[in-house]
Chain A
């Protein structure tokens, strides 16, 4: 089967750094994406990694290791507004290019 695993909940304080891990097992792989979803809102795209290494976008960075089937999202200088759910998703190498989603990590940022 195909699956993605990520922690269900993470708690941190403002100004801290948090890492959300994602391990995947899929039949194909083009890349790993991360999405953010605030309560009551729609998922929004954060980052995408096709190759091994770290991609940095402002306070957010995403890492991929294809050999380990592993990636993480790193959030720095946490702010209250970062409280949200974060989903990893694999871009399947199948013809249909359907995304395969993890169950999401709920991040709570406390004062």
Chain B
């Protein structure tokens, strides 16, 4: 069975501080990994994705994530956050030949304080 765990439901952080949002997954087969962001009253927007190749993936808005196969993790990082990064972040996995069935984590609400 596949599952995605986001260990932190909420992460408060001050503006310009670094942040890491944690994501672990469980799967017996190779996965594709994604981070999506959701702003209030909006749909989800892709931040970055790992399909293959380099395990360090850079995305939009200065975010990056590193795929660690041995630890089955895909943590999201940003060296310096802004107020505008306040949103909910979702980690997701999918699989080759899976007809776009994504499994999402429960989400992490990032609250950036001035």
Chains A and B belong together in one complex:
no
